[in-house]
A and B are shown apart, each in its own frame.
Chain A
Amino acid sequence: MKHRDGKFDRRAFLKITTVGGAAAMTLAIPRKGMAEDAAKSLEFRTLGRTEMKVAIVGIGALKITEPAIFQAAFERGVNYVDTARGYLNGNSEKVVGQALKGYRDKVYVATKFKLGTKEHMLGQFEESLRCLETDYVDVIQVHNLKSKGEAMDPVAKEVITQLKKEGKVRYAGVTTHSNEVEVAQALIDDPDNFYDVLLIKYNFQSPPEIKQVIQKAAEKNIGIVAMKTQNGGYQGKEWADVSPHQAALKWVLQDKNVALAVPGMNDLAEVMEDTAVMRAPLLTSEEKRLLERYGAYLEARSCRLCGECNSTCPNGVDIQEVNRCLMYAEGYRDIHLAKQTFREIPAAFSVERCTSCQRCSAKCVRGLDIAARMRRAQELFA
Chain B
Amino acid sequence: MNKVRFLSMGLTLAAVLASCSTTQSGRVESLIRFPDHLGPNWKTSGKSATYTPETIFEYIDGEAEIYFPYGLKRASSQTYSDGKNVVVADVYEMGSFLDAFGIFSNYRSSTARPYQAGAEGFADDYQIMFYKGPCFVRITAVGTPNDCAEALQSCAQQIDQNLKFESKAPSELDALAVEGINPQSIRYVARSVIGYPFFNRGFAAERMVNNGSVRVVVIPQPSEENAEAVLRAYADFLKKAGASFEYVSDKLTAIDPMYKSVYFERFSNVVVGAINLSDKELGVLAVKPIGQRAAQVFEKAG
Minimum CB–CB distance for B275 against chain A, Å: 9
- A4 with B62: CB separation less than 8 A: no
When distances are taken between beta carbons in the complex, the residues of chain A under 8 Å from B25 are 344, 346
Minimum CB–CB distance for A208 against chain B, Å: 21
Contacts A341-B26, A348-B14; A267 near B106 (Cβ below 8 A): no
When distances are taken between beta carbons in the complex, the residues of chain A under 8 Å from B14 are 316, 348
When distances are taken between beta carbons in the complex, the residues of chain A under 8 Å from B71 are 328, 334, 337, 340-341
Minimum CB–CB distance for B265 against chain A, Å: 15
Contacts A3-B245, A66-B194, A334-B69; A10 near B239 (Cβ below 8 A): no
Minimum CB–CB distance for B22 against chain A, Å: 7
Q: Fill in one digit per residue for B21-45: 1 if any A CB lies within 8 Å of its CB, else 0.
A: 0100110000000000000000000
Contacts A268-B197, A341-B95; A314 near B7 (Cβ below 8 A): yes
When distances are taken between beta carbons in the complex, the residues of chain B under 8 Å from A295 are none
Q: Of the candidates A17, A266, A331, which one forms a contact with B241 in the assembled complex, judged by CB atoms under 8 Å apart? A: A17
When distances are taken between beta carbons in the complex, the residues of chain A under 8 Å from B68 are 328, 331-332, 334
Q: Fill in one digit per residue for B234-255: 1 if any A CB lies within 8 Å of its CB, else 0.
A: 0101111111111110000001
When distances are taken between beta carbons in the complex, the residues of chain B under 8 Å from A66 are 194-195, 258
Is there a chain A Cβ closer than 8 Å to B63's Cβ?
Answer: yes
Interface residues of A in 325-351 (CB under 8 A from B): 327-328, 331-332, 334, 336-337, 340-341, 344, 346, 348-349
- Complex Cα–Cα for A66 and B259 (A): 10
Interface residues of A in 289-310 (CB under 8 A from B): 303-305, 310
- A3 with B247: CB separation less than 8 A: yes
Total residues of chain B contacting the partner, CB 8 A: 65
Chain B residue at smallest Cβ distance from A88: B106
When distances are taken between beta carbons in the complex, the residues of chain A under 8 Å from B22 are 344, 346
Chain B residue at smallest Cβ distance from A90: B109
Q: Of the candidates B69, B108, B198, B245, which one forms a contact with A337 in the assembled complex, judged by CB atoms under 8 Å apart? A: B69
- B18 with A228: CB separation less than 8 A: no
- B4 with A314: CB separation less than 8 A: yes
Is there a chain A Cβ closer than 8 Å to B164's Cβ?
Answer: no
- B240 with A232: CB separation less than 8 A: no
- A324 with B61: CB separation less than 8 A: no
When distances are taken between beta carbons in the complex, the residues of chain B under 8 Å from A228 are 62
Is chain B's binding surface mostly helix, strand, loop or mixed? mixed
- B61 with A65: CB separation less than 8 A: no
Interface residues of A in 1-49 (CB under 8 A from B): 1-8, 10, 13-14, 16-17, 24-27, 29-30
- Complex Cα–Cα for A10 and B109 (A): 31
Q: Of the candidates A13, A62, A91, A349, which one forms a contact with B108 in the assembled complex, judged by CB atoms under 8 Å apart? A: A91
Chain A residue at smallest Cβ distance from B109: A89
- Complex Cα–Cα for A10 and B243 (A): 9
Is there a chain B Cβ closer than 8 Å to A287's Cβ?
Answer: no
- A2 with B106: CB separation less than 8 A: no
Stretch among A67-75, A166-174, A243-251 lining the B interface: A67-75
Q: Of the candidates B65, B189, B190, which one forms a contact with A264 in the assembled complex, judged by CB atoms under 8 Å apart? A: B65
Stretch among B52-60, B167-175, B285-293 lining the A interface: B52-60
- A64 with B15: CB separation less than 8 A: no
Greatest chain B CB density within 10 A among A87, A267, A314 is at A267
Is there a chain B Cβ closer than 8 Å to A227's Cβ?
Answer: yes
Is there a chain B Cβ closer than 8 Å to A311's Cβ?
Answer: yes
Contacts A13-B257, A311-B8; A25 near B95 (Cβ below 8 A): no
Minimum CB–CB distance for A166 against chain B, Å: 24
Is there a chain B Cβ closer than 8 Å to A60's Cβ?
Answer: yes
Q: Of the candidates B109, B192, B235, which one forms a contact with A266 in the assembled complex, judged by CB atoms under 8 Å apart? A: B192
When distances are taken between beta carbons in the complex, the residues of chain B under 8 Å from A17 are 241, 257
Contacts A269-B197, A314-B7; A144 near B61 (Cβ below 8 A): yes
Is there a chain B Cβ closer than 8 Å to A63's Cβ?
Answer: yes
- A63 with B7: CB separation less than 8 A: no
Minimum CB–CB distance for A81 against chain B, Å: 15
Greatest chain A CB density within 10 A among B63, B195, B255 is at B195
Chain B residue at smallest Cβ distance from A266: B192
- A24 with B257: CB separation less than 8 A: no
- B63 with A87: CB separation less than 8 A: yes
Is there a chain A Cβ closer than 8 Å to B149's Cβ?
Answer: no
When distances are taken between beta carbons in the complex, the residues of chain B under 8 Å from A314 are 4, 7
- A25 with B198: CB separation less than 8 A: yes
- A72 with B65: CB separation less than 8 A: no
Is there a chain A Cβ closer than 8 Å to B12's Cβ?
Answer: yes
Is there a chain B Cβ closer than 8 Å to A177's Cβ?
Answer: yes
- A8 with B195: CB separation less than 8 A: no
- Complex Cα–Cα for A14 and B257 (A): 7
Is there a chain A Cβ closer than 8 Å to B260's Cβ?
Answer: yes
Chain A residue at smallest Cβ distance from B95: A337
Is there a chain B Cβ closer than 8 Å to A149's Cβ?
Answer: no
Is there a chain A Cβ closer than 8 Å to B177's Cβ?
Answer: no
Q: Report, nearest first, the 5 A-B pairs whose CB atoms are least far apart.
A: A267-B192, A68-B258, A316-B11, A69-B195, A89-B107
28 A-B Cβ contacts within 8 A? A2-B248, A3-B239, A3-B244, A3-B245, A10-B255, A10-B258, A13-B241, A13-B257, A14-B257, A24-B197, A25-B237, A27-B237, A29-B241, A29-B242, A62-B65, A87-B63, A88-B66, A89-B109, A91-B107, A267-B191, A268-B196, A268-B197, A269-B197, A328-B71, A331-B68, A337-B69, A337-B95, A349-B18
Q: CB within 8 Å of A: which residues of B?
A: 4, 7-8, 11-12, 14-15, 18, 22, 25-26, 52-55, 57-58, 61-63, 65-66, 68-69, 71, 73, 95-96, 106-109, 127, 129, 142, 187, 189-192, 194-198, 200-201, 235, 237-248, 255, 257-260
Q: CB within 8 Å of B: which residues of A?
A: 1-8, 10, 13-14, 16-17, 24-27, 29-30, 60, 62-66, 68-69, 71-72, 86-91, 116, 144, 177-178, 227-228, 232, 264, 266-269, 303-305, 310-312, 314, 316, 318, 321, 324, 327-328, 331-332, 334, 336-337, 340-341, 344, 346, 348-349
